[in-house]
Amino acid sequence: MQNLTFSQPTLLTLSFGEMTEIKYVYSVIVLLFFTMIILSNCSVILIIVLHKSLQEPMYIFISALCVNGLYGSVIFFPSLFINLLSQIQTISYIGCIIQIFGIHTYMGCEITVLAIMAFDRYVCICNPLRYYSIMTYDLMFRLIAAAWVYNVVLIFVLVILTIHLPLCDSVIQKIYCDNWSVVKLSCIDTTVNNIYGLLITSVMGCLPGCIYLSYLQILRVCLKSSKDFRAKAVYTCVPHLVSLTYFSSNTFSEILLLRYPLNMPYELKTIISLQSYVITPLLNPLIYGLKMKEIRVKILESFCLKTKTLQTDVEI
């Protein structure tokens, strides 16, 4: 029997479909979203870092969420923008692997940090007298570090398994690289990759369920508490629930479309697949920056102070 050898393609072709017909319009939209994401997330991070009154666990976790949003956007947007302006939409094999690692660690860290934030709210509302003894700065930074290390290790193994797959095709049926789209191009059996991928998906899929269970416990405590206590709990929990629900529903839809392709227009599939990478990192700073009064006040104070300083400089 003749032995067959395979070599990895140097370039992979991305499927942009009819988007290239009005690529300049899409490139402007992409640049606009990228700019808004960078500015909004950096604003929230700077406000939290510069004001000691905001350096509490809840706000530190919000800043961690914004940092993760910046990380995911830097991994995702530049490649998309460059390809929109290119004659041929391609990505190097190494670049594709880096993007796979980046977007999957971003997704994993997003849901993990949201789970940590749910734990923080649970302790704060259900054990208020012990909150500061439990949620110390040491534990807080350990949880954030663990969220990153945990996801980096999981995704690193996933990427290593993918790298060892010989590819028979070089056309990815998406506008960016994700692990399953590359695995489907393989020439050999991918059972190990599928099992490990499903294992990661199952582990990550359990986190939203655990978060909602913690909020059921919070709801039980709120029902037995005063009206003012319930109002404060709702005030701090609603932004988190909105962020969690939006992110988890989009991620679930993306997984379904990857594993079980539905008969729908390619453009609609593309829009659905982009939600977690485009809307989520923009939505988070807007939700927390506008909903959380403390952050909103500090942003307005900083903006007004800067405006007054500029006016004084002009008068001088």
Model confidence pLDDT, tens digit, residues 66-117: 999 999 999 999 999 998 888 888 899 999 999 999 999 999 999 999 999 9
Distance CA 114, CA 61 (A): 8
> What average pLDDT does the segment 196-215 reach?
86
Q: What is the per-residue pLDDT for 315?
A: 44
pTM for the model stands at 0.86
Domain spans, the chain: 11-315
Model confidence pLDDT, tens digit, residues 153-200: 999 999 999 998 988 888 888 889 999 889 988 888 899 999 998 898
CATH 1.20.1070.10 fits 11-315, yes or no: yes
